Structures are given as structure tokens and as C-alpha cells.
Amino acid sequence: MWKGKIVIDFLKRKESNEQLQINSLSVINDDKQYQNVINIYKLALEEVVDNLTEVKQKYYDIFKDNLINNIVYRIKTPESIINKMKKKGYDLNYENLFTKINDIAGVRVVCPLKDNIYTLIRIIEKLPGIKVIKRKDYITKPKKSGYSGYHLIIEKVVVVNNRELAIKIEIQLRTMAMDFWSTNEHSLKYKTKKKLSKSDSRRLTLYAKVLNYIDNKIAKIYSKQLPHNQLC
């Protein structure tokens, strides 16, 4: 199976260390090799989204209830990819892009309840063509900021030109309460001109704990109304 170390060969590059040459974003946007790379990521991402959409529908067909509330997905912008590589101190070449950057393609899955998240993880682990290679559980151990969620890095096998390629994709799983907090916290920190005060940052952390408490209480009530195997 093809890995990042031979990506340059696959893309017919002459030198495995050839730079991305992206001092200007317009250069990378016009780079056919870069577009080929991104198209491979898009193919893998679309297949993963299709897999998750099918899981959502099948679960509803069986239990008449939602395992997944909604699915959103994205490919990182060239600027975001390059900034991350520079921040990590990586040379700007395709080998590092493939082997060291795990979230070029990302999926966010929002579930009604925490139990749904762990059920979905077990389903994802069994999906054909998908291998979980890394996980971070911020549900049992939230970040200091208050952020909660469960992150998976998977390899999704896709077929391009009759060759199997293993492409890394990040899947973030959250409850609706977690997503509400995270979306607003991100907007407040990164999409407003004024820097968030320390007191407001502390309030956001407190509100995350409050929402987590409410999340757990609602889940407890909900579990009484459903068959045990539906949540587990």
C-alpha cells in the first residue's frame, strides 16, 4: 500500500525533497501537482463522508432514532497547511505534507449524546477500508480551555490509477452541547477583532463545565427511555 514516502514517485516528481514553492498562495493554487494531491484527499474525504452518512441512515432505519445529528467536512486551505508546516518546523515538501500533517482533510460529526459517540467509534473501527491510527479522548479528559470531544486520525484506503493509497483524515466527534460551546468559543477567540479577556476566558471554561453537566443529565434521562443496546 502506498505511503507518504513514495508520494513524489506517485506524482512523478523528480526529487523527493522538492519544495512546494509557496511564497505566494497563487503559486500553490496554480500548481498542478498540488491540485493532484488535494484531489486525492478530496476523494478519500468524500468516501468517508459517504460511509458516515450510510451509518447514520442505517442506524435510523433500525432504531428510528439519530446516532448522528449532522456531518460537516473540509479540506484545509493552502495558507492553513503551509502555516501549520512552518509552525511545526517542517520542510515544505510533499513527503512531510503526507506523513506529518494529519488534518488536511477533516470531518466533524455531531451526535445527540456522549454514548452515541462511543457507539459510532466502534462502528468506524469496523468500516472496511478504514484504519484508526491515533485517538485523543477529550471527553474523559477535557482540555484546560474546557473543550470536549473525541478525535480520531484514520487512514482511508482509496484507489487511484489502480493503486491503493492510504490517506489520513481527522474525524472530530462531539455532542450538540460540545459543538455549541466549541463553535462559539472558536468564533470569540479567532473571528473577533478584540482579544478575549482573562475573565471571559474563565467564564467560557466554567460554561463548558456547566454544559457538560447538562449533557450528562439529559443523557441519563434519555437512557431510561431507550433499550440498552440502542445506546451501547
- Mean per-residue pLDDT for 131-159? 97
The answer to whether 158 and 168 are in contact (CB under 8 A) is: no
The answer to whether 107 and 72 are in contact (CB under 8 A) is: yes
* Largest pairwise CA distance in the chain: 62
Query: What DSSP character marks residue 150?
Result: E
- From 12-16, 37-41, 65-69, 174-178, the region with the lowest mean pLDDT: 12-16
Measured distance CA(139)–CA(133) in Å, rounded: 19
Measured distance CA(228)–CA(56) in Å, rounded: 19
Convert the pLDDT of each residue in 154-173 to its tens digit: 999 999 888 899 999 999 99
What pLDDT does 14 receive?
A: 38
The answer to whether 45 and 75 are in contact (CB under 8 A) is: yes
Give every CB contact of residue 89 below 8 A, 6+ residues apart in sequence: none
Convert the pLDDT of each residue in 11-41 to its tens digit: 544 344 444 444 334 445 557 778 888 999 9
Of residues 195 and 143, more confidently modeled:
143
C-alpha grid cell, residue 159:
484507489
- DSSP H or E run through 168: strand 163-175
Q: Is CATH 3.40.50.12280 what the domain over 4-176 is classified as, yes or no?
A: no
